[in-house]
Amino acid sequence: MTERNGPLDGYRVIEAGSLIAGPFCGQLLGDFGAEVIKVEDPDGGDPMRDWGTSADGVSLAWPVIARNKKSVTCNLRSTDGQAVMRRLVASADVLVENFRPGTLERWGLGYDELARLNPGLILVRVTGYGQTGPYASRAGFGSVGEAMGGVRYVSGEPDRPPSRVGISLGDSLAGTFSAYGTVMALLERQSSGRGQVVDTAIYEAVFALMEWLVPEWQHAGVRRERTGSILPGIAPSNAYPTADDSQIIIGANRDTVFTRLCEAMERPELAAEGPYATHRGRGEHQHDLDRLIGEWTRTLPASDALERLNAAGVPAGLIYTAEDMLADPHFAAREAIATMTHRQLGDVSMQNVAPKLSSSPGRLRWVGPELGEHNDEVYGGLLGLDDDERKSLESVGAI
């Protein structure tokens, strides 16, 4: 029996995007077995090949964002390259792109034309503002989508300008929702036999995570503000200093859990009576309560504090760095970090596939490929172009 690479094994995805928003969608689909053929410009390829921290001249972003993908070169701005793209799409289930709205149409690769070639095609379009609306034509990066979607306003300390998370959150959320939409469209195609367009806007992907922010304002006149490391009224739930100059996160805002925290602190009276005995009271006296807990955690090294808290059933943990993750036994036991072989770097560790499926898990097969590494396999094998045809396309810069 042939081993399957995941539940999407047998589906073919053409990825024509660059940077993170579109390619992260491709990464997620590839993690669960889809054949992802990444189409890159012959002149340098995806800029992610050169972005971020590098080692030995290799971008450390590329092995991750392009894992499980095949790379072919194709100049989509040329007539010959567009003809090659149509042939690729005719054999595919999904096309992922994150160009500005109208770009595919200008190249003669709009959905109406592609659907005539392949009625079952699912076109996944990832942009800053979506395919419609007054802002559709604007350039949109993840940072702007984070601002418009609401997460920037509520991130950071209250006495400072809005902050950002140290990752490309908006782009990754858009890629995640795009992969989710792709699977929904594939499921629907099973009954209808037809494809459709998945229209992902970065700001909407961010906005989707903003909980009940809108009705809070609409019906209660409450505008969420920046609150640093706490959520107002939710206490205790914060970072607390330890004797060895570390910090631990403790989340004990539920009554029963707070009781267990107080027992671990040898201060059971705090939960029994007084201002901290109820959820509302703890919220109203949040800063005083955090001060009391911090005074206790400062007397213990992080490991001792966590040992007590974990034994008492109180959610608590270190604030992890990459070094902590690589050394942690739980990461190791669950194989949360996978180690792959890179032709230049040797062993490269990265996050494994998530979530874990019990009977049809995804898996990592290879790291990000060289530019055009799969030209012969895809153009010669899949499309059946002979050597002369491929050389002719190369000579005019189409591939």
Q: Name the burial class of residue 133, with classes exposed (0-12), middle (13-18) and buried (19+) by CB atoms within 10 angstroms of its CB.
A: exposed
Rounded Cα distance, 365 and 8, in Å: 14
Query: Of residues 31, 171, 199, 290, which has the active-site annotation?
Result: 171
Rounded Cα distance, 317 and 163, in Å: 24
- 218, 221, 222, 223: CA torsion to nearest 10: 70
- HEC string of 318-373? ECCCHHHHHHCHHHHHCCCEEEEEECCCEEEEEECCCCCCCCCCCCCCCCCCCCCC
CB-based contacts of 45, cutoff 8 Å, min separation 6: 71, 73, 371, 372
Residue with tokens 């911090």: 294
User: CA gyration radius for the chain?
Assistant: 25
User: Read out DSSP for 181-244?
Assistant: HHHHHHHHHHHH----EEEEEHHHHHHTTSTTHHHHHHHH-------TT-BTTB-SEEEEE-TT
Cα–Cα nearest to 350, from 70, 64, 67, 65: 64
Active site residue 171: yes
Q: How many residues does the chain have?
A: 399
Query: Residue 329 to residues 45, 310, 334, 337: CA-CA distances in angstroms?
Result: 38, 16, 9, 11
List residues with catalytic annotation. Answer: 171
